[in-house]
Structure 1
Amino acid sequence: MTLVIVSATVVAADQAEAATPQSVAVESTIGTDRVVTLTVTCNASSSCAGSLTLKLSTGGTKTLSYSIAKRASKTLNWTLTQKDYTNFTTKRTAILTASGKTTKPSKTTLSKTATLKVASAKLALSTKTYAVGTGRSVPLAVQCSSSSGCAAKVDLRLAGNTVTKATVKAAKGKATVKLTLPAASYNKLTTAGAKYTVVISESKPDAISHSTSVTLRKTKPVSTPTPTPTATPKPTATPTATPTATPRALSKAYTQRNWTPTAYDTCSAELHASYRVLGPDGKYYPTWHPATATDPTTGLTCTFGHEHGADPANSDIAEWVAERYAPADLMRGEPTGLPFGYVSEVLDSYIQDGEHDHSTMSMRHEDNGGHKVFVANNVKMLDADNDWLKLADGTQLECDYLIKQHQGSHSPDATSNNAHETLFASRCNDGTEIITTMFSRFGNPNEIFSTCATNTAIATVGSTLPEGDGGRRIIPTLDCVEENPTDWSLYELWEGASKVETTDGQVLASFDPWYGVRNPSRMYDAMASTSTTNAVSRPLALAWLATGAATDYFWAGLSAFDPFDYQDPRSPFDGAQRDFYLGDLKLTSPGATDVVYSDPYGGGANSTETTGSIKQLIKPGSVLGTVSLARQKFDSKADYGKNNGVHAPN
């Protein structure tokens, strides 16, 4: 990294005062974190204080205040908006003007300029072909070109899915990043090789993300020569044709409900469509992807404007779950993972089943952005009395969870509809295993509860979905938030109550996670609703009121004199601050195979697969089964929309 050191020109506010010995150093590059960095140094024998107003020639302005101890330095950071950063990267360079006033040790003015440029990658692959042996090790050879060293996260991906990852800290020169392929990935590898993508997300010297294609091939086994056989040679067999993969079908979630960019987004629909996996039915579905990616046409970071929560690759059971959702005829190299919208596809088949009459059921399709992933590893389990649960040998009972829940928090949909797609998976060290997917129902349709009156149901309209089995949807209401514009009145909480049960009502599995949204972009608006429609208002709009009633930290810094649209990435209400609560998990053995087939709502479970049925894995362990569990909260400070272009609708 090159630093441009600028000695600030000082103009005395009073000729009798001595000039203030302060200087400013400007970092000459801006990375994908969009941060402009300055260092102010106080060379005086007493402390320094003041403020700097920064302006970028390509757009953007910011005022930063500082207070520095004598003969010390302080770093000031300015994070550009996504729009200003995009304008900057388009031009590649910009002039930064810093002007300000000092208040200590004397009052003076400062004025200087510096040229900034887009940060360039400092860590690169020096070898792009690797032979992988039985140890499954991939020693990536990299080269660091920064004199101050490099630090980065390295992801090895196949078809957009993370296969394995590692971190690297390297001094200038050559280094090695040690990756290990999962067993399943290694088993699919051939001696002919396959193309993978290495994504390097640098944090030092600058935040910059880039990708490179590499070839991995399995090492050819070394064979010992054998004597030439003396037996009579057999007739040469006629060679059979090499099987070819059948073209895969596309799901409705992929073709009809996939994401398209808004005016605030810089990634293309085609790039988004490249993140896909095969579902159990052999169709392609959208899946998890990061909120930003490298646009292959420009090499620059682009934004999707929405996020899908935690990276499922961080789950200890990700590979196990992916294998369960892969089609039976999976070919080598085909992508697997979490299929978004699979239950909707099955429900369509279930309704249209010619052998049984399900015509009274309603189809249900949900938007792409609402699919959210939750990960919890090594959860120490507590019973309802908050006592630790242990195995027979005294070992602490621990479980891993990987959950995908559709939870949109921007539209009127959830004000009426109670059924939302769930994928719930858990594996524990007592032998418990569960992988289910269904439409979970959060309370009843056409009924919500307000954050100001959590026990009083509010009647809504528009849904034809089935009744629930418990739970509820607590959604902020305009009257509540207007009266109490705080984070608690805006907190949206969905309380689940899901189960897999047989036709005769035997419950094979039940679980009741809760999902919270701390900054939804909607409030139910009873006054604007009609007898046939539900209306929503925007929390952001409260900031534009002349009364300035909304002063909680969510609204802090928003000015009625500078309004913008609720979909703007500047809005603090993007639905990306989410937490979740794990509660009960009760299982009963369904039989010898631990597998049943249910309808899309988890009902009618039996051992026979039929049109429109979903495969559910249910295996009780030695401890978990009917014991009640304590409710535990996770991700209380998670924010998946921080400085990455995420905005409503999300």
Structure 2
Amino acid sequence: MQKQTPQLWVLALLLLACNSPEATPPVAPPGQPTPVAGQACPDWVHNSYVTKGPDGEFYPTWHPQVDPEYKCYFTHEHGDDPRTSLANPELPPFGYVGKLAGMPEAHEGFKVFVSNRGTRNDEDRLALTSTRIVAHMGTGGVRRYSVRQHSLMFDLVAPSGHRVSVQGMADTGLVGSICDRDPTLNDADLSNDIGRSVMTLPGTGCHSQNPGSLYEIWAFKLRLADKAEVIASTAVFDPITTMNPANLSELHYTEQVFRGFTGLRGCNRESYHGPVYWYNANGPEVFFTDAFGKAGGPIRQLVSRHNDIGIWMSQRSDGFLNQFKLPKNHCAPGLGLLN
């Protein structure tokens, strides 16, 4: 992980601290608050987590919820550590794709989902490929109800030689309730498909005043120059906000709408890796697109030379599946209402 500390005085302080025979308390830059263990980190600590993007510029990137050096915490989290991925261990540049698309995305919403080959989930399914999803899906605000395109980075490596490493603004479809989703997906009319299924106010969907569970799931679809289509889904069991279908700009906190739920922070999630469709038998493997997947542009894409409508990505005792589901819980003390 790269922390941006180019100033000479910072390096001098670090050398002094390393040479001290006694433990040295954290040293803040001049004019900046000192980090305190067990409290929220100052902004300058958060801003030190950066990585270089494909354009040579520095971008915010993944960080742990608790800073390992100062032991202070951040009020948001980004999910799995991308460096543990067997498909792509590089730190993702949050905001790179959105910048190219002219669609800035809130930093707190970037989430990472890692699934490595050999992982077994809670349903006794075994991952047959290594995949990594970096999706923009926060549940603390209301813009997600009206914004259809969200950034997606997707990496896959399979023993068969199938591979993708792609990114762009994915189509997440229309927004609606879970009870409206399936009828729209099965009516053969692609124009009305609900891809972002969210909680809605009682009386506006299929949610009662006291639902047994809370659930929000998005489907990301990214088509790349007619060479590949990547589909991934991400979901949360504790969405921070709930939608009013009559006014998408209204802010309603879920724990205030539905009784009996507290501490909802959008941190208990699951991911669906795949399917992926290859239309690239004749290559080339590396090509360039714009932020929306159209041929020509600055974004480097990699798609292996295959022509396959999906590959087996998970296995269970009664057969094979074309995707792999993996739940993860990243809830921790200190998370706020923007996550």
TM-score greater than 0.5 by the shorter chain: yes
CA separation of 1:380 and 1:448: change in aligned 2, threshold 3 A: same
CA separation of 1:581 and 1:310: change in aligned 2, threshold 3 A: same
Match of 1:454 in 2: 181
Q: CA deviation at 1:627?
A: 4.1
Match of 1:365 in 2: 104
Does the 8 Å CA contact 1:307/1:369 hold for their aligned counterparts?
yes
CA separation of 1:595 and 1:573: change in aligned 2, threshold 3 A: same
In the alignment, structure 1 segments of 5+ residues that lack a partner are: 1-157, 162-194, 197-209, 213-260, 323-336, 348-362, 382-387, 389-395, 458-466, 502-506, 544-549, 556-570
CA distance in 1, matches of 2:212, 2:265: 14
Does the 8 Å CA contact 1:397/1:430 hold for their aligned counterparts?
no
Is 1:594 matched up with 2:285? yes
Letter in 2 for 1:159: Q
Does the 8 Å CA contact 1:509/1:587 hold for their aligned counterparts?
yes
Match of 2:232 in 1: 513
Look up the SS of the partner of 1:585 in the other structure: strand
What CA RMSD, in Å, does the superposition of the two structures yield over aligned residues?
3.3
Match of 1:401 in 2: 131
- Structure 1 or 2, whichever has the larger Rg, is 1
Give the one of 86, 95, 106 matched to 1:316.
Answer: 86
Is 1:646 matched up with 2:335? yes
Match of 2:308 in 1: 625
Look up the SS of the partner of 1:515 in the other structure: strand
User: Normalising by the residue count of structure 1, what TM-score does the alignment of the two structures yield?
Assistant: 0.41
Q: CA deviation at 1:525?
A: 1.5
**Greater strand content:** 1
CA separation of 1:470 and 1:450: change in aligned 2, threshold 3 A: closer
Match of 1:495 in 2: 219
CA distance in 1, matches of 2:131, 2:291: 21
Q: CA deviation at 1:470?
A: 6.0
What percent of counterpart residues are identical?
A: 24
Is 1:287 matched up with 2:287? no
Look up the SS of the partner of 1:372 in the other structure: strand
Does the 8 Å CA contact 2:152/2:220 hold for their aligned counterparts?
no
Is 1:584 matched up with 2:275? yes
In the alignment, structure 2 segments of 5+ residues that lack a partner are: 5-13, 16-23, 27-34, 185-189, 313-320
CA distance in 1, matches of 2:176, 2:39: 34
CA separation of 1:620 and 1:626: change in aligned 2, threshold 3 A: farther
C-alpha distance after superposition, 1:206-232 (max 9, x if no partner): xxxx999xxxxxxxxxxxxxxxxxxxx
CA separation of 1:265 and 1:417: change in aligned 2, threshold 3 A: farther
Is 1:419 matched up with 2:132? no
CA separation of 1:295 and 1:512: change in aligned 2, threshold 3 A: same
Look up the SS of the partner of 2:251 in the other structure: strand
Match of 2:11 in 1: none
Letter in 1 for 2:62: W
CA distance in 2, matches of 1:432, 1:482: 41
C-alpha distance after superposition, 1:88-131 (max 9, x if no partner): xxxxxxxxxxxxxxxxxxxxxxxxxxxxxxxxxxxxxxxxxxxx
Letter in 1 for 2:87: I
After TM superposition, the structure 1 = structure 2 runs for residues 532-543 of structure 1, keeping only pairs within 5 Å, are 534-542=249-257
Match of 1:58 in 2: none
Is 1:270 matched up with 2:54? no
Match of 2:9 in 1: none
Letter in 1 for 2:178: T
CA distance in 1, matches of 2:193, 2:98: 22
Match of 1:144 in 2: none
Q: CA deviation at 1:339?
A: 0.5
CA distance in 2, matches of 1:375, 1:342: 20
C-alpha distance after superposition, 1:605-635 (max 9, x if no partner): 25xxx4xx311001045xx723465344533
Give the one of 264, 274, 289 matched to 1:573.
Answer: 264
Match of 2:20 in 1: none
Which has the bigger relative contact order, CA under 8 A and spacing at least 6? Answer: 2
CA separation of 1:468 and 1:274: change in aligned 2, threshold 3 A: farther
Count of matched residue pairs: 293
Does the 8 Å CA contact 1:307/1:640 hold for their aligned counterparts?
yes
CA separation of 1:453 and 1:211: change in aligned 2, threshold 3 A: farther
After TM superposition, the structure 1 = structure 2 runs for residues 423-442 of structure 1, keeping only pairs within 5 Å, are 423-442=153-172
C-alpha distance after superposition, 1:487-508 (max 9, x if no partner): 53x200102222112xxxxx21
Does the 8 Å CA contact 1:493/1:514 hold for their aligned counterparts?
yes
CA distance in 2, matches of 1:587, 1:397: 19
After TM superposition, the structure 1 = structure 2 runs for residues 64-83 of structure 1, keeping only pairs within 5 Å, are none
CA distance in 2, matches of 1:313, 1:594: 24
Q: CA deviation at 1:402?
A: 1.2
Q: CA deviation at 1:317?
A: 2.9
Does the 8 Å CA contact 1:450/1:477 hold for their aligned counterparts?
yes
Q: CA deviation at 1:473?
A: 0.7
Q: CA deviation at 1:309?
A: 0.5
Q: CA deviation at 1:588?
A: 2.4
Does the 8 Å CA contact 1:450/1:476 hold for their aligned counterparts?
yes
